[in-house]
Chain A
Amino acid sequence: MKGTYLGELEELVLLTVGILFPDAYSVAVMDEIEKQAGRSLNISAVHAVLTRLEEKGFLKSTMSEPTEERGGRRKRIFLLTAAGKRALEEANELRTQLFKQIPKIAFQFKLI
Chain B
Amino acid sequence: MNRVPPRWADQFLKWYCSPELLEEIQGDVYELFNRTAVEFPRKARWLFIWNVFRFFRWKNIRKIKSDHTDSIFHPAMLKNILIVSIRNFVRYPGQSFITTAGLTAGFTSAFLILLWISHEFSYDKFHPQKEQLYKVVSHVNANGAVQTYELAGNNLDVASVPEIESITRISSGNRWPHELCFRPDEKPAECLYFNGVYANETLFSNFNFPILQGDPNPLGKPAQLAISQKMAAALYGTENPIGRVLKIDNTHEVTVSAVFRDVPVNSSIQFDFALPFDILKKQWGINDQMLTEQFFNIYLKTQVPVDVRTLNEKLNQLPVISAEYQTQNIRYEAFALTDLRLYNKFENGQATGGRIDYIMLFSIIGILVLAMAVINFINLSTARASLRAKEIGIRKVTGAFRGGLIAQFMGEAFVLVLIAFLVSAIFVQLVLPFFNTLIGEPLTVSLLNTRMIFFMAIGLILIASLAGFYPALVISSFQPATILKGQLPTSITGSQQLRKALMVIQLSVSVGIILFGSILYRQLAYIADVNLGFDRSNTLRLEPTHRLHLSYEAFRNELLSNPLIKAVGASDSNPLETGGGTSEINWPGKSPDTRVSFKLIGCYHDFPETIGLQLVSGSFFRPERQTNDSVAIELLITKKAAASMGMTNPIGEKLTLGTAVGEIIGIVDDFHTSSLHTVMDPVILYRKNIYNTSAIYIRYEAGMARQAQEAINTAYKKFEPSVTMKYWFQDDTFQQLYKTETLASRLVFIFSIIAMVITFIGVTGLATFNVMRKTKEIALRRVFGASVVQILMMLFNDFLGILMITLGIALPFAWYAARQWLDGFAYHTELPWLNFVAVISATAGLILLIIWIQGRSILAANPTEKLRSE
Contacts and interface: CB of A to CB of B under 8 A. Distances in A.
Tell whether A and B belong to one assembly: yes
Interface string B24-52: 11111111101100000000000000010
Given A69-B34, A70-B31, A71-B30, A44 B24 contact: no
A75 B55 CA distance: 16
Contacts of A63: 23
A75 to B, nearest CB: 6
Interface in A2-18: none
B63 interface: no
A100 B32 CA distance: 42
A76 B54 contact: no
A26 B25 CA distance: 9
B54 A43 contact: yes
A47 B35 CA distance: 18
Nearest to A44: B54
B59 A74 contact: no
Nearest to B33: A71
A27 interface: yes
A69 B59 contact: no
Contact of A27 (B31, B54, B55, B59): B31
A26 B30 contact: no
Interface string A7-51: 000000000000000000011000000000000001111011001
23 contacts: A26-B24, A26-B28, A27-B28, A27-B31, A27-B32, A42-B51, A44-B51, A44-B54, A44-B55, A44-B57, A47-B25, A47-B55, A48-B57, A51-B59, A69-B31, A69-B34, A70-B31, A71-B26, A73-B26, A74-B27, A75-B24, A75-B27, A76-B24
A69 B25 CA distance: 14
A77 to B, nearest CB: 10
Contacts of B57: 44, 48
A74 B32 CA distance: 14
A74 B24 contact: yes
A73 B34 contact: no
Contacts of A73: 23-24, 26-27, 30
Contacts of A75: 24, 27
B59 A43 contact: no
A25 to B, nearest CB: 8
Contacts of A71: 26-27, 30, 34
B63 to A, nearest CB: 15
A71 B24 CA distance: 11
Interface string A53-76: 000000000010000011101111
A63 B27 CA distance: 12
Interface string A70-93: 110111100000000000000000
Given A44-B51, A69-B30, A73-B27, 19 more contacts: A26-B28, A27-B28, A43-B28, A43-B32, A43-B51, A44-B54, A44-B55, A44-B57, A45-B54, A48-B57, A63-B23, A69-B31, A69-B34, A70-B30, A71-B27, A73-B23, A73-B24, A73-B30, A74-B27
Contacts of A70: 27-28, 30-31, 34
Contacts of A44: 51, 54-55, 57
Nearest to A70: B27
A96 B32 CA distance: 37
A33 to B, nearest CB: 14
B47 to A, nearest CB: 9
Q: Ordered nearest first, which 3 A-B pairs have the shortest CB separation?
A: A73-B27, A44-B54, A70-B27
Nearest to A75: B27
Best-buried of B26, B30, B31, B54 by chain A (most CB within 10 Å): B31
Contacts of A69: 30-31, 34-35
A74 B23 contact: yes
A7 to B, nearest CB: 16
A74 B27 CA distance: 7
A90 to B, nearest CB: 26
A70 B31 CA distance: 5
A69 B44 CA distance: 14
A47 B28 contact: yes
Contacts of B28: 26-27, 43, 47, 70
A44 B675 CA distance: 81
Contacts of A27: 28, 31-32
Contacts of B24: 26, 47, 73-76
Contacts of A48: 57, 59
A53 to B, nearest CB: 13
A76 to B, nearest CB: 4
Nearest to B54: A44
Nearest to B52: A44
Contacts of B25: 47
Best-buried of B23, B24, B25, B32 by chain A (most CB within 10 Å): B24
A70 B32 CA distance: 8
B22 to A, nearest CB: 9
B29 A43 contact: yes
Best-buried of A73, A74, A76 by chain B (most CB within 10 Å): A73
A92 B362 CA distance: 79
B53 to A, nearest CB: 9
Contacts of B32: 27, 43
Given A27-B32, A48-B59, A69-B35, A42 B27 contact: no
B133 to A, nearest CB: 58
